[in-house]
Amino acid sequence: MSKKMRTILSSASIALGATVAVTGTAIAEDNTVVLDQINQYNDANSFAQVNSVFQLRDVAPSDWAFDALRNLVEKYNCIVGYPDGTFRGNRPLSRYEFAAGLNACMQSIERLIVGGGTDVDAADITRLRRLVEEFEAELATLGARVDDIEGRVEFLEDHQFSTTTKLGGEVIMTLANAFGDNKAGGGDLDSEVTFSDRVRLNLDTSFRADGKDRLRTRLQAGNFTSLSNVTGTDTARLGHDESNGNNIEVSDLYYRFPIGSKTRAYVGTVGLDIDDIFEVTNPYFESSGDGALSRFARRNPLTLRSSEGAGIGFNHKLSDKFTFSGLYLASDGDAPDPTQKNGLFNGAYSAGAQLAFAPSSKIDLALTYINSYQPSGSVNRTGSTVNGNAKRPFGNNTPTSSNNFGLEASWMAASKLNLAGWIGYSAANNELNGNDADIWTWSVNAALLDVGGDGNVLGLMFGQPPKATSIDGGTADPDTSYLAELQYRYKLNDNITITPGAYVIFNPNHNDANDTIVVGAVRTTFKF
């Protein structure tokens, strides 16, 4: 706004005198005088001290100047402040208020002259010239004040610092139960209907005027009991089964911020996970709050679930279509521990890179690589999505490293249909004797949008949890497990969704001797 005002005060007045000069020889001389005077007002060196008592007084409605300006306003529509377009007032105007109105009339007359000038007569030019002469100091001062204000505004914009914190919340309530004859590994599957909750409060703080940074502080509590205990397999786990006895804890604490216009950096001590930095490319089912009901179907467990929580990462936009990302994350349980074989660099960690490619607005692809290490006692190569030999190919007491590769993809195949999936491979290594193991996983899903109403999603997922296909000196998984999930996400309103669904686990833990297990759930999610 301030730049516009300065332009008006400087250019409109010059254009007025210049265009009047060509409207006819009868008024050319008068207009030249007006032009010369107005040009002087815009020259900063022409500013003069106001010493006259007459100049300092207000402009009353009874003054000739007030009446002259009112006539110009009503004739040329300089100021439109009332429904009938008239310029009214029963109180005096300060001389600076009057000068602002006079400047508005100068602009209106200028526009008329530029358009042809046939409606501007010499008498009005004479009145305008006399008004300009009397309010010469105020017009000059007004221009100087606008310049000064603009400078102040630009300074404030460049140096503004406003810390802003926003509160966002999510509450999940889930009714769930597991069904089957026997649990994986033997024994009766005895499960009761459960009703559990998870609560998250996100405090997102920005320290920049443009709001492009974020300090995420998350408080979380939940009282779920993992279904892996009663079913004998991690594949039965819900995708949101937080379990800390409903005790409030800080589950996320990390800061992301821009570096230049193409790079975003991350640093965190708790809850900074791989999927916070890398693309998941599973847009309708990756979220724990309104995505897949099962843990496995949310994201690639070999590349996007590993040792994580504390460390650094970045995204760098190579072009409109390519983004390169990297990270180094330690287990947030090991990172603050100063004892041997722990800490940020000597405990469990994940280090990796990802190249994301979006050839069009409907297709997203990602190539992901993760190198990980898990010490003795904390080996989990499947991200707790399956038991069996793939989870600990050399046993839990053997430190294990791995090179993990993944291809993730999402395709908006039609206006109401999205297809997504992944394939993952892990080359695990026994750090004690050098033995190797090969682990594979894959999954596909379909999301049908707006089924039964706007915002509703019908989802179908099918995939193979991580399977050990070979283990040096050990036993590979004998058979193949599959998980199939069907869900319907109903959007009650912008803040509440209800998701009933079920998922079926065939040959749990990659053993066809295990009975099929079914998990049914109704998840209600509140967001605010």
Average pLDDT, stretch 431-455? 98
Q: Would you call 345 helix, strand, or coil by DSSP?
A: helix
Q: What is the pLDDT of residue 92?
A: 64
Q: Measure the CA–CA gap between 370 and 223, rounded to whole angstroms.
A: 32
| Sole residue written with tokens 């600990």 | 392
| Non-local CB neighbours of 498 within 8 Å, separated by 6+ positions | 489, 490, 492, 522, 523, 524, 525
Residue 309 binned pLDDT confidence (cut-offs 50, 70, 90): very high
Domain locations along the chain:
2-158, 161-527
Q: What is the distance between the alpha carbons of residues 20 and 515, in angstroms, rounded to a whole number?
A: 95
Q: Encoding tokens for residue 320?
A: 């409109």
- Which of 127-141, 215-229, 349-363, 475-489 comes out lowest in average pLDDT? 127-141
Q: Which two tokens stand for residue 432?
A: 């004690």
How many whole angstroms separate alpha carbon 88 and alpha carbon 82? 8
124 vs 118: CA distance, rounded Å: 12
How many C-beta atoms lie closer than 10 Å to residue 25's C-beta? Answer: 8
Q: Which fold has domain 161-527?
A: Porin (2.40.160)
3-state class percentages of the chain: helix first, strand second, coil last, to nearest 5: 25, 40, 35
Range name among 37-41, 205-209, 483-487, 517-521 with the lowest pLDDT average = 37-41
Q: Check residue 330 and give its pLDDT.
A: 97
Query: Is there a contact between 139 and 102 (Cβ–Cβ < 8 Å)?
Result: yes
DSSP structural state of residue 291? S
**Are 177 and 227 in contact, with CB atoms under 8 Å apart?**
no
Q: Which residues contact 508 (CB under 8 A, 6 or more apart)?
A: 184, 231, 232, 233, 235, 236, 481, 514, 515, 516, 517
Please tell me what DSSP assigns to residue 46.
G
- Cα 471 from Cα 129, distance rounded (Å): 97
Contacts of 158 (CB under 8 A, 6+ apart): none
CB 457 within 8 A of CB 451: yes
For residue 492, the SS3 value is coil
522 touches 488 (CB < 8 A)? no
Q: Over the chain, what is the mean pLDDT?
A: 85
| pLDDT band for position 388 (cuts 50, 70, 90) | confident
Higher-pLDDT residue of 7, 133: 133
Taking alpha carbons only, the member of 474, 307, 273 closest to residue 378 is: 307
> Best-predicted range by mean pLDDT among 23-37, 80-94, 344-358?
344-358
What pLDDT shows up at residue 56? 41
Residues 6+ apart with CB under 8 A from 285: 291, 292, 297, 298, 420, 445, 447, 459, 461
Q: How far apart are the first and last CA of the chain?
A: 35
* DSSP helix/strand/coil, 275: helix
Strand ranges for 23-163 from DSSP E: none
pLDDT class of 158 with cuts at 50, 70, 90: low
Q: Lowest-confidence range among 71-75, 163-167, 256-260, 517-521? A: 71-75
Q: Helix, strand, or coil here: 258?
A: strand
3-state per-residue secondary structure call for 462-488: EEEEEEEEEECCCCCCCCCCEEEEEEE
The DSSP H or E segment spanning 75 is: helix 64-76
How many Å apart are CA 420 and CA 366, to the nearest integer? 12
CA-CA distance, 250 to 268, in Å (whole number)?
Answer: 12
Report residue 137's pLDDT band, with 50, 70 and 90 as the boundaries: confident
Which pLDDT does position 133 carry in this prediction? Answer: 78
pLDDT (average), residues 413-428: 98
Asked if residue 82 has pLDDT above 60, the reply is: no
Q: What is the pLDDT of residues 199-256, one digit of tens each?
A: 999 999 999 888 899 999 999 999 999 999 999 999 999 999 999 999 999 999 999 9
d(CA 495, CA 406): 34
Percentage, residues of the chain above pLDDT 70: 79
Strands 194-206 and 322-331: unpaired
The DSSP result for 312-324, as a single string, is EEEEEE-SSSEEE
- The alpha helices in 115-203, defined as continuous H runs, are 122-134, 136-159
Share of the chain above pLDDT 90, in %: 66
- pLDDT tens digits for range 35-72: 455 445 444 333 333 333 334 456 676 677 777 777 77
Q: Tell me: the pLDDT tens digits for 244-299?
A: 999 999 999 999 999 999 999 999 999 999 999 999 999 999 999 999 999 999 99
**The token pair that represents 228 in the structure block:** 């892996």
Q: Closest by alpha carbon to 487, among 522, 458, 520?
A: 458
Q: Which two tokens stand for residue 147?
A: 């310049």
CB 370 within 8 A of CB 350: yes
- 152: exposed, middle or buried (Cβ count in 10 Å: 0-12, 13-18, 19+): exposed
Q: What are the tens digits of pLDDT across the range 95-108?
A: 767 777 777 777 77
Extract the tokens encoding 354.
């990802």
CA-based nearest residue to 282, from 273, 291, 270: 291
